Amino acid sequence: MKGAKDDRKHTLDYRLRCLPVLLTVGWFMRQIKTVLITTVVVVSALFLFSYLREQNKTDNQFACDTAPIIVSEGDTLFQIAKENCVGNFMKVVDELVLTYGSSISVGQAIYLPTNESCELRLTDGGQVLEDCI
């Protein structure tokens, strides 16, 4: 019986002596885990923001026919942009509303912006000019 008590005492003494080392190792492992998780989160966020920025550039792109469109009965700026442009034609509709206003008339010539880096503007004489960057 005496040997079993000594073994337990020895084990308890050993554990108490090793406790500061074990606590230090545990603290160190928690710090490493925290740093790794933080690194993964930051890198993931950077990739996500980079992807979204590129996606936004792609979403804003469009290309339109360069020939003027003559407005027919029942045409709308939305319909004209949708039929004559590829890509984000809603950007085209916004540009057309800025240039022509919200009302168009039958027989009116509508000029479409060539792409997203171009904008239309009316001159004092009523002509439509396209400014491209």
Query: pLDDT digits over 87-124, tens only?
Result: 888 888 998 998 888 889 999 999 898 888 887 888 88
Residue 4 pLDDT exceeds 80:
no
The per-residue pLDDT for 89 is: 86
Query: pLDDT digits over 61-94, tens only?
Result: 888 888 889 999 999 999 999 999 998 888 889 9
The per-residue pLDDT for 2 is: 55
Written as six digits, the tokens of 129 are 């000019």
Going by C-alpha positions, the residue among 60, 55, 51 that lies closest to residue 113 is: 60
Contacts of 115 (CB under 8 A, 6+ apart): 61, 62, 63, 64, 132
The pLDDT confidence band at residue 41, using thresholds 50, 70 and 90, is very high
Q: How far apart are CA 92 and CA 69, in angstroms?
A: 14
The per-residue pLDDT for 124 is: 83
| Residue linked to tokens 């996606």 | 55
Q: What are the boundaries of each domain within the chain?
A: 1-59, 63-132
The per-residue pLDDT for 82 is: 92
CATH architecture of the domain formed by 63-132: Roll (3.10)
Lowest mean pLDDT among 15-19, 27-31, 129-133: 15-19
